[in-house]
């Protein structure tokens, strides 16, 4: 079963706060996801550091930047 964390980030296109479901069982990942508000594509980069409490770093940017 996947380990999911819900992370709040600001959309790089419209600036709205959105909630992303992030699979924390994968240490490094990058994928494209559409904003839930403006529907524009953004590139999501996820890094999971540590094993116990699994702190998660999420960076989002507009896909075409």
Residues 48/54, Cβ–Cβ less than 8 Å: yes
User: What pLDDT score was predicted for residue 21?
Assistant: 93
User: From CA 49, how far away is CA 41, in angstroms rounded?
Assistant: 26
Residues 21/6, Cβ–Cβ less than 8 Å: yes
If one counts the domains in the chain, the total is 1
Residues 32/43, Cβ–Cβ less than 8 Å: yes
Q: What is the pLDDT of residues 4-25, one digit of tens each?
A: 889 999 999 999 999 999 998 8
Per the structure, the complete domain to which residue 45 belongs is given by 4-62
**Has residue 1 got a pLDDT over 60?**
no
Reported as a pLDDT band with limits 50, 70 and 90, residue 55 is confident
Q: Give the pLDDT mean for 57-64.
A: 92
Considering only CA atoms, which of 54, 62, 56, 61 is closest in space to residue 7? 56
Percent of the chain scoring above 70 in pLDDT: 88
Total-model pTM: 0.83
């Amino acid at each position: 079963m996947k380990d999911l964390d819900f992370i709040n980030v600001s959309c790089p296109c419209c600036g709205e706060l959105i909630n992303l479901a992030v699979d924390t069982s994968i240490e490094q990942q990058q994928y494209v996801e559409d904003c839930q508000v403006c529907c524009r594509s953004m590139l999501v980069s996820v890094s999971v550091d540590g094993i116990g409490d699994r702190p998660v770093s999420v960076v989002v940017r507009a896909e075409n930047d």
